[in-house]
Structures are given as C-alpha cells and as structure tokens.
C-alpha cells in the first residue's frame, strides 16, 4: 500500500545524515576537535561522531551550542536547527520499529529518500521484487518468530515496493491515518537489479509460488522505471559473486551509499573511496549479465520450465 501525502514527512534518516555532514564540516573548518565539541555538550566524543555520521539525532538547542562553539551565527543557525527538528521526527516506517533492527530502519529511511537503487542479489530474489507469498516462504527458513511480527515485516516489504509502481502510474493511494506523520507525496523510485540465475532457480515455497514469482518479475520488467538483468551460470566467475549489495543514489548533493546486509550486522559504506569499488563491481555485473531483452526471454523460458516440471 502507498501512503498518502499526509503520511510521508521530511525523512528523518536523511535529515540526520545531512545535518551531521554539515556539522562535521563546520567543526573541522573551525579547527575544533571532537573532544572539544563533546565538552561543549557535556557528552563523550563518540556521541559527536555518531551525530556527525547521522546515526543519532540532536536537539535544536544542542545544535546552537555547537554552532556557538564553532563561531557560526546568522541564518545558518536557524537552518540547522530546523534540520535537527526534522531529524527527530518519526518516519512512516516507525510503526514497524518493533519488527526490524535499528540498522535496517536506517536502510528503509535511506531507501525512502533514494531516487535510484542499483541492486545485486546472488542467493534470493530481492525484497522489492518479491510477491507476498514468496516473501512469506522466505521466513519459513528463518528462526522461529512471532507470526504477528513476521506478518508486519512482510507488510513493510510490500509497502516499500509501491514506489516502483508510481513511475508507471500503477499505484493507488489510500486514505491516511490520523496518527501518521505529515509531509510530501512519495516519489517514484527507479531500480536497476542484477539477479544471479541461482536466485531464480532456487525453489522457494514450491512450484506454485515460484510460478507466481517469475510471472511477477516478468510484469515488473515492464515498469518504465525498472531494469532487470539475469546473470547466467555460463557467465563464469565475476567480481560480485561473493556478496549481495545495494547502491543508493539520491537527488541533489547527497553522496551515494552502499548497503551490505550480513548475518553478523549491516554495513554502510558512505565515502567516495568506499563506494567506488561497488560501482566498478556493479558495472562488471551488468556487462556480464543478459541484456534486459534477453533477460525477459530467459524469465519466460524459466517460467515455462517450472510450469512443465
């Protein structure tokens, strides 16, 4: 389901990230150390680093304290205080906070603001491309959990998918709830996904579910904002085969972010030096993969195979 204009507000994750980068830049230009900034707020220097990396919010009055310490005056104070207030708001995904980890909440916040996603999946079809039944089947392989919480996680996955439909005009808007944050209309999301053949041939949930899932991928491939490519087995070894990752690209000046989901924790790469190798890997992957046209034919042939099996 897509939330209405009353349910999507200023993205707190991105606002915190933007504010943190600005505060770090101002601190460094002022020649103030993290320890000195921490002393101004009576906190540990690790808190300053977490604020500057957008991991935690900061109160507007603490922003003013830091800016006073950095020798900043004028309109910039009001602007950054405003970012601090927005960074402390609830995102639309907050209603799922009991079901997902804080690092994954950060990812959802970044994804909500991203304009483009470049995704590589080696083991399983990405959540943005899953049918509801396929998504439900993936949780059968996870450690036992509360069915209600699992249902909420699946609902979150389905809600995240709706931005893909907006660019093709396929989404419907629902009336807002009175307790939801206010804000602007959700924006379309453009996706370029490279899927390893192994993820498509892995029989998740049985024949009927895989038929539905493959048909869903064929439908999604027709969305104007989606590009799908399959990396076939006969492509041999390739740079990205050791891991799954997502590159998030934003409008404006916000830098790209790489998200790598792992069993031992989620990893975010944000510096240009850290992100560049992933772009190189992704470029290699899509060069080795089938073209979008050949991918569509591959999916149709695989669907025929599953139906006849």
pLDDT at residue number 170: 46
Alpha helices in the chain (DSSP H): 12-30, 34-41, 45-52, 60-69, 75-87, 102-113, 132-138, 147-166, 197-201, 207-220, 272-288, 292-308
Per-residue pLDDT at 33: 92
For 204-219, the DSSP string reads -S-HHHHHHHHHHHHH
User: Scanning the structure block, which residue is given the tokens 């996904």?
Assistant: 193
Q: How high is the pLDDT of residue 262?
A: 67
* CB-based contact 308:261 (threshold 8 Å): no
HSE (side-chain half, CA atoms, 13 Å) at 139: 20
238 vs 89: CA distance, rounded Å: 42
To the question of pTM greater than 0.75 for the whole model, the response is: no
Question: Which pLDDT score, from 0 to 100, does residue 91 have?
Answer: 65
- The pLDDT tens digits along the chain (309 residues) read 333 333 344 566 777 777 887 888 899 999 999 999 999 999 999 999 888 887 788 888 998 999 999 998 888 888 888 878 776 666 666 677 777 777 777 788 888 888 999 999 998 999 999 999 999 999 887 665 678 888 888 999 999 998 888 766 544 433 334 344 334 456 788 999 999 999 999 999 999 999 999 999 999 998 988 999 999 998 766 665 667 899 999 887 678 889 887 665 567 787 888 899 999 999 999 999 999 999 999 999 999 999 998
pLDDT at 177: 40
Cα–Cα distance measured from residue 200 to residue 145, given in angstroms and rounded to the nearest whole number? 26
- Tokens representing 200? 């498509």
Is residue 86 within 8 Å of 143, Cβ to Cβ? no
Tell me how long the chain is.
309
- Residue 202 is given by DSSP the state S
- Maximum distance among all Cα pairs of the chain, rounded to whole angstroms: 72
Domains belonging to the chain, first-starting first, are 12-87 (1.10.260.40), 92-308 (3.30.870)
**Separation between Cα atoms, residue 22 and residue 195, nearest integer Å:** 37
**Residue 185, both tokens:** 């209309």
| Radius of gyration from C-alpha coordinates of the chain | 21
Structure-block tokens of residue 309 = 């099996």
pLDDT at 77: 86
d(CA 306, CA 200): 11
Number of Cβ within a 10 Å radius of residue 122: 19
């Amino acid at each position: 389901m897509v939330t209405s204009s009353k349910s999507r507000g200023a993205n707190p994750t991105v606002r915190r990230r933007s504010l943190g980068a600005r505060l770090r830049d101002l601190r460094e230009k002022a020649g103030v150390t993290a320890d000195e900034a921490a002393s101004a707020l009576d906190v540990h220097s690790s808190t300053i680093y977490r604020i500057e990396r957008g991991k935690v919010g900061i109160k507007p009055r603490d922003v003013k304290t830091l800016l006073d310490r950095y020798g900043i005056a004028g309109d910039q104070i009001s602007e950054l205080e405003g970012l601090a207030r927005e960074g402390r708001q609830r995102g639309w995904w907050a209603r799922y906070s009991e079901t997902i980890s804080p690092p994954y909440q950060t990812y959802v916040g970044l994804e909500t603001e991203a304009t483009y996603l470049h995704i590589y999946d080696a083991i399983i079809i990405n959540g943005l491309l899953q049918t509801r039944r396929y998504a439900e089947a993936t949780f059968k392989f996870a450690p036992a959990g509360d069915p209600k919480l699992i249902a909420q996680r699946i609902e979150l996955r389905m809600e995240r998918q709706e931005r893909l439909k907006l660019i093709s005009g396929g989404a419907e808007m629902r009336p807002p709830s009175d307790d939801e944050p206010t804000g602007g209309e959700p924006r379309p999301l453009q996706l370029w996904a490279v899927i390893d053949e192994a993820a498509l041939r892995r029989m998740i949930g049985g024949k009927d579910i895989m038929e539905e899932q493959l048909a869903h991928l064929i439908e999604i491939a027709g969305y104007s904002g989606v590009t799908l490519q399959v990396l076939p087995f006969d492509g041999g070894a390739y740079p990205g085969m050791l891991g799954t990752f997502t590159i998030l690209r934003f409008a404006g000046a916000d830098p790209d972010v790489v998200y790598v989901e792992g069993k031992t924790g989620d990893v975010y790469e944000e510096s240009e030096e850290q992100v560049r190798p992933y772009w190189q890997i992704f470029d290699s992957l899509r060069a080795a993969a089938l073209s979008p046209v050949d991918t569509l034919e591959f999916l149709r042939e695989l669907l025929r195979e599953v139906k006849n099996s």
